Amino acid sequence: MQVFVTGGTGLIGSAVVAELLGHGHTVLALARSDASALAVERAGAQPLRGGLADLDVVRAGAAQAEGVVHLAFSNDFSSADAVARAVAEETAAVTVLGESLVGTDRPLVTVSGTPWVLGSVSTEADPLPTGGPVGGRSRTVVAILGLSSQGVRSVAVRMPRTVHNEGRGGFAGLLTDIARRSGVSGYPGDGAQRWPAVHALDAAVLFRLALEQAPAGTSWHAVADEGDAVRDIASVIGRRLGLPVESLPEENFGPLGSIFAMDQPSSSAHTREALGWEPTHPSLLDDLENIRP
């Protein structure tokens, strides 16, 4: 299949591109800089120069493809305004991707997040929370899944809080960045709240399976670790960086502080059974041992 990929140079996207190429697909990847275009070429894919805001380029990429995987997001969580800008940019681009595929029955696999359900482990059947700082992303995913009634094989692959590789990535990566800056490996609350996680190489396999086989309008969980206590995550980070490990007020964690404080374990039992997905790479706590001071 000729697949158009956005975000193909990122932590998850580079693994997805390699996974697709390794299974006989060809990849056209959106590349917003010379460096990204070079990385795409080196990976064995074809770059399409442009960014998410270049809607004509995004439309042209989808038009040339037999399937689309969307992963690009600015991941700028420095302020509430930055998050809102990133969400608006992504929404416009994903809307164009969806419109381009109406009536084609082609797959559009979009990244999403595992939901949180108070007092229980979330499953693929739970709805996405559409409030909070990144609620707009969920509303976009819901709209894209709705295109399943208009001839788009739209599918959501929901990511846990940390998608990691070589000790980097996701919420645990943000905790590491904050620890490096502040000199304290902090966590909000008592740290007993749990975050799910997956290795990027395992997540990449699920993106491929979803692209190849998932029915229209379905959602899947790329969860390997159901929930690691945040205090345990901060403890490994603190030990690797030689920093004290302490509870800190939610405000220390920026616009995502309220989400950092929540218990949000998640299951992938249905995904494993229905798509035959089985994660094989290191757990988050093992992978964090790769952090270097």
Q: For residue 130, with 0-12 CB atoms within 10 Å meaning exposed, 13-18 middle and 19 or more buried, which class applies?
A: middle
If one asks whether residue 219 binds ligand NAP (CB under 6 A), the answer comes out as: no
Among 9-17, 230-238, 258-266, 271-279, which window interacts with ligand NAP (CB under 6 A)? 9-17
C-alpha span between 276 and 111 (Å, rounded): 19
Binding mask 147-186 for ligand NAP (x = CB under 6 A): ------------x--xx-----xx----------------
Nearest distance from C-beta of residue 51 to ligand NAP, angstroms: 3
113 counts as binding ligand NAP under rule CB under 6 A? yes
CB 56 → ligand NAP: shortest distance, Å?
A: 14
Q: Which is nearer to ligand NAP, 275 or 284 (CB)?
A: 284
Largest CA distance in the chain: 56
| Using rule CB under 6 A, residue 206 touches ligand NAP | no
Nearer to ligand NAP, 9 or 185 (CB): 9
Judged by beta carbon, residue 87 or residue 214, the one nearer ligand NAP is 87
According to CB under 6 A, which residues from 23 to 82 bind ligand NAP?
Answer: 30, 32-33, 36, 51-52, 71-75
Candidates 7-15, 99-107, 209-217, 269-277: pick the segment binding ligand NAP (CB under 6 A).
Answer: 7-15
Query: Do 75 and 120 touch, CB atoms closer than 8 A?
Result: no
Residue among 28, 87, 94, 111 that touches ligand NAP (CB under 6 A): 111
Nearer to ligand NAP, 52 or 209 (CB): 52
Q: Which is nearer to ligand NAP, 49 or 151 (CB)?
A: 49
Query: For the range 250-257, what are the long-range contacts, defined as Cβ-Cβ under 8 Å and sequence gap of 24 or more?
Result: 250/188, 250/189, 252/178, 252/182, 252/186, 252/188, 253/174, 253/178, 253/186, 253/188, 254/77, 254/78, 254/79, 255/77, 255/79, 255/80, 255/83, 255/133, 256/77, 256/133, 256/171, 256/174, 257/188
Number of residues binding to ligand NAP, judged by CB under 6 A: 26
Closest separation between CB of residue 131 and ligand NAP, Å? 17
Would you say 123 or 162 has its CB closer to ligand NAP? 162
- Find the binder of ligand NAP among 13, 167, 196, 255 (CB under 6 A): 13
- What is the nearest approach in angstroms of ligand NAP to the Cβ of residue 120? 20
Q: Please, what is the minimum distance in Å from the beta carbon of residue 103 to ligand NAP?
A: 26
Q: Given the rule CB under 6 A, which residues bind ligand NAP?
A: 7-13, 30, 32-33, 36, 51-52, 71-75, 89, 111, 113, 159, 162-163, 169-170
